[in-house]
Structure 1
Amino acid sequence: MNRQARQPTENQRYFTVWRWHFYAGMFVAPFLIVLACTALGMLFMSNTAGRDHDRLTIVVPESTVPAPISTQAKSALTALPDSTLVKYIAPRDTDTVALFQVKSVDQDTMVAVNPYTAAVVDSTPTNDNLYYTFDSIHSDLLLGKVGDYLLETAASLTILMILTGWYLWWQKRKSLKSMLIPDDHINRQTKRSLFRTIHATLGSWISVLLLFFCISGMAWAGVWGERVVQAWSQFPAGKWGVAPMPVSIDHSQHHAGMNESAPAPHVHGSTSADMPTHGSVLNAGKAKEVPWVLELTPMPVSGTTMGEHGIAPNIPIMIDMVDQYAREIGLEGRYQLNLPQGSTGVWTVSQDSMSYDMSSPTADRTVHIDRYSGNVLADIRFDDYNAFGKFMAAGAAIHMGTLGWWSVLANVLFCLSVIAICVSGYVMWWQRRPRGINESRGLNPPARGQRLSVWWPFAIVLLAVAVIFPTAIIAIVVIGLLDFVLISRVGFLQKLLK
């Protein structure tokens, strides 16, 4: 037999790709349905009650002058005995509550306060409402590291499913127009052909967006995100003076926090690797509240000669003054103010779309202020992000539907489309199952019982997906062994799976 005769035919290539598309789809469809449903839940909660119930409304009095932030904070602290203030979130609108995160030894609480009367409106455990339940399922299926790995693997195989789906539909249609627009004779086709047309056409329409969602979503994941991409995409810490800083200054006359003074510590030489990161300091539990590109970047520290052009040195640095300064530098509406934690902690004022502060990711801003000198240690904006950081800031806004009501509607339609594609795929599989009495009732993959030749160009695609997305390696190897080794050689597996 000559070499040309050994080459797989076009029909064999089609069945090989279809078989991998089938295996990938059977694995990822349940995960995609869960992700789509939980995303719909988060969209609903964030646009009704708010992620932290920040959309609770209050009656605006005739005198529309809010109470001082310090007065509101003292009221919030009464909701949890022996607590300290961690964060202040400014009201979204003139008729919505202010939020205060207060923390005791064994409890972390988010308190909603009427900004005009300083009365407590509501009090709930931090990150413990229906939004965060959906978010936890969406992030790791409530399984921790195992769930994170499963979802990352599912996202990796979804990319493989998209690529194989493009190939299969192109082979049937041979033109982009035919891939995107169903034929007029669709009504005359069989039920399975109808579902296939819906499945493939709808998939063609949303495939690019699904590909984008997979990549942007995996950038948060534990392997491809934190260890591969985020590790080299973090913000350059040294740019804002968080590298070794051996010189200290004494600003003990300045106040830190709400109403207490604290002497400036002596900051010895240290490396950025010794310092806490933005994510560890500012994220509340598993909630992602820090722009992606900053999560692994070390925090600046108070008590050094770094920084400039901040709060005037002759003014006590208290929460009301920091709020005033935040407004003076241009933060409008809802923004977040994190209080200094520990002797070297800093004041952090921030505003970003990922935290639902505003709609535009290009307006992201994070400002760190020395708690003793009042100097601005860092003023990080969207333009300061690297290329992938900008992609992630924009990607998070699209992913979360924070760009306005049009993006909420687009995300709802996208999630419903994903569910429809997954369900139609299972319907096609069920309709294709053998009907005879003696036929197998197993998995029934495409080209059942056929021996398919290895198509090396497709094998290279599999290798590329495995190399780029490491969690896909095990899944691809398992599928390959299952299909090409075990099923073809083990009798009971042939009956079970075919």
Structure 2
Amino acid sequence: MLWSYVLDPNLIYALLDPKSHFGRNYSEIAASWLWVVSLGGLILWIGYRRRTRKTRRLLVPDREAPKRLRTLSWHGSVGIWIIIGLIALSASGLSWSRFAGESISTLRTELSWTTPSPSSSPAPTVAVDPHATHDGGGGDQAASSPAVIEPSDFTRVMATADHQGLVGPLEITPPSEAGAYWQVSENARGYPSHFDSIAIDPHTFAVVDRVDFADWPIAAKLTEWAISAHMGLFGVVNQIVLVLLGIGLTTVIFRGYLMWWRRRGSSGLPTAPAIGALGSLKPVEAVALIGVVALTGWFVPWFGVPLGLFVLFDAARGLYLAKRDAANREGAL
């Protein structure tokens, strides 16, 4: 019964569905750590090539090296080839993530990099004379009251959008309050991108405001292009690049675990120092590192939370190993 529940396809789909909390959190953790791991690997690989005086072979593996070193050279070389794509995927993924996306949105707002949109404010209404009779004031009253949206209104809105040169797919938003404007926006994320949008008066169906994609801030354009590329919406070439990135990343991960397995300790676990990693740093370095990590963790929460848990685990494990070694030394005496 337990296995049938765990392997239930509906349960697995719910957990992995990006729209669910689990799926969104999992994907955000991956995006939050991908750029950190990639840049860390780049630094380690460049340092290794410098120590071995092979900086000219950053992009080329050592096919004649011994087994483990050959695996390392393939791991590093392939990582160099795909690192730009990995960082781009991480950045674009974080831009619409659940928690880090809010931080990025706030930053874009502060820097005036937000995506502009047509005015949605209520259209001016005609003042109604309270002393007017039903015959004399009926027209003004009708003009100021919210109109009932009829199916034919969508046809007129589409005709206006077509006349303005907007191309599909289109997002049409009816007025949300009395006298508010219709909103029509292009949502063509392919190449060329189409994100022009207009506001339409609900009474006359005339265009009252327009924002073209060409007038967007460059940061807003880059964000949309990055998301479209992340989703593979720029055509077959874009999709082939994503497939190659996925294959390259899979081989890098596989070789990373393979190297870990080959260098594992006699107990089957990776070797580790007797103290936590922070204990090997100078006080100034440790404080600076904690400050940078805290700031990054606040901006990208799903980077900070796992890292904090790892640091606590590392410190606890270091204390445990130190006490165990001390106990072993006392026993030997």
Maintained 8 Å contact 2:171/2:185: yes
Aligned residue identity for 2:60:
I
Could you say which residue in structure 1 is the equivalent of 2:317? 487
- Correspondence 1:326 to 2:161: yes
Once residues 236 and 324 of structure 2 are traced to their aligned partners in structure 1, the CA distance between those partners, rounded to angstroms, is: 51
Would you say 1:179 and 2:96 are equivalent positions?
Answer: no
Deviation at 1:342, TM superposition (A): 4.8
- Pair 462,383 (structure 1): closer, same or farther in 2 beyond 3 Å: farther
Residue in 2 aligned with 1:464?
292
Shift of 1:160: 2.0
Indicate the residue corresponding to 2:192 in structure 1: 360
1:221 maps to which residue? 97
C-alpha distance in structure 2 between counterparts of 1:168 and 1:236, whole Å: 36
TM superposition score normalised by structure 1 = 0.49
User: Match of 1:454?
Assistant: 281
Q: Which structure 2 residues correspond to residues 68-467 of structure 1 after superposition, within 5 A?
A: 137=16, 139=18, 142=20, 144=21, 146-174=22-50, 177-183=56-62, 186-190=63-67, 192-226=68-102, 228-233=103-108, 240-242=118-120, 247-249=124-126, 266=145, 318-332=153-167, 334-338=168-172, 340=174, 342-344=176-178, 346-354=181-189, 358-361=190-193, 363-434=194-265, 439-442=266-269, 444-445=270-271, 447-449=272-274, 453-454=280-281, 460=288, 463-467=291-295
| 2:24–2:98 CA contact under 8 A, matched in 1 | yes
Question: Given that residues 401 and 411 in structure 1 are in contact (C-alpha distance below 8 angstroms), is that contact kept between their aligned partners in structure 2?
Answer: yes
Give me the whole-angstrom Cα distance separating, in 1, the residues matched to 2:323 and 2:144: 68
Q: Is the 8 A contact 1:466 1:476 kept in 2?
A: no
Q: Which amino acid aligns with 1:248?
A: T
- CA separation of 1:168/1:319 partners in 2, compared to 1, >3 Å: closer, same or farther? same
Match of 1:65 in 2: none
Deviation per CA, 1:220-248: give whole Å up to 9, x if none: 1122212x1213535779984445x5842
Corresponding residue for residue 73 of structure 1: none
Q: Given residue 208 of structure 1, which amino acid in structure 2 is its aligned partner?
A: I
Counterpart residue number, 2:9: none
Q: What secondary structure, in the 3-state scheme, does the structure 2 residue paired with 1:368 have?
A: strand
2:172 partner letter: N
* Aligned counterpart, 1:78: none
Aligned equivalents of 1:423, 1:478: Cα separation in 2: 25
CA distance in 1, matches of 2:188, 2:294: 32
1:360 is paired with a residue of what secondary structure? Answer: coil
463 and 390 in structure 1: CA distance in 2 versus 1, 3 angstrom threshold:
farther
Give, in whole Å, the separation in 2 of the partners of 1:176 and 1:329: 57
Q: Which residue identity lines up with residue 281 of structure 2 in the other structure?
A: V
- 1:136–1:210 Cα change, 3 Å: farther
Change (3 A) 1:482 1:432: same
Residues 246 and 136 of structure 1, relative CA distance in 2, 3 Å threshold: farther
Cα drift, residue 205 of structure 1: 1.2
- Indicate the larger mover: 455-464 or 162-171: 455-464
* Residues 247 and 211 (structure 1), Cα distance of their counterparts in 2 relative to 1, 3 Å cut: same
Using the TM superposition, give the Cα deviation of residue 460 of structure 1 relative to its aligned residue in structure 2, in angstroms: 4.0
Q: Distance in 2 between matches of 1:266 and 1:166?
A: 63
Amino acid at match of 1:220: W
Contact 1:487 1:493 in 2 (8 A): no
Shift in alpha-carbon separation, 1:431–1:405, aligned structure 2, 3 A: same
Higher helix share: 2
Q: Is the 8 A contact 1:317 1:372 kept in 2?
A: no
State percent identity of aligned pairs: 21
Q: Is the 8 A contact 1:335 1:349 kept in 2?
A: no
Secondary structure at the aligned position of 2:267 is classed as coil
Contact kept, 8 Å, 2:15 with 2:23, in 1: the verdict is no
| Residue identity opposite 1:416 in structure 2 | I
Conserved 8 A contact 1:486-1:493? no
Using a 3 Å threshold, how does the CA distance of structure 1 residues 457 and 394 change in structure 2: closer, same or farther? farther
Q: 2:120, 2:183 within 8 Å by CA — same for their partners in 1?
A: no
| Cα distance between partner residues in 2 of 1:475 and 1:432 | 25
**Alignment partners' CA distance in 2, 1:493 and 1:157:** 32
Query: Counting strand residues as a fraction of each chain, which structure ranks higher?
Result: 1
For the residues of structure 1 that align with 2:73 and 2:40, how far apart are their CA atoms? 16
* Distance verdict in 2 for CA 1:432–1:353, change over 3 Å: farther
1:139 is paired with a residue whose SS is: coil
Matches within 5 A, 1:13-24: none
1:338–1:349 CA contact under 8 A, matched in 2: yes
Q: Please, which moves more after superposition, 149-158 or 457-466?
A: 457-466
State the alpha-carbon separation in 2 of the partners of residues 135 and 367 from structure 1: 37
How far the C-alpha of 1:383 sits from its partner, in A, is: 2.9
Q: TM-score, normalised by structure 2?
A: 0.70
Partner amino acid, structure 1, of 2:200: I
Deviation per residue, 1:358-411 (Å, 9 max, x gap) = 4223x3212232222213243222233334312211101211122222111111
Are 1:370 and 1:377, in contact at CA under 8 Å, matched by a contact in 2?
Answer: yes
Contact 2:275 2:322 in 1 (8 A): no
- C-alpha distance 463-236 of structure 1, shift in aligned 2 (>3 A): closer
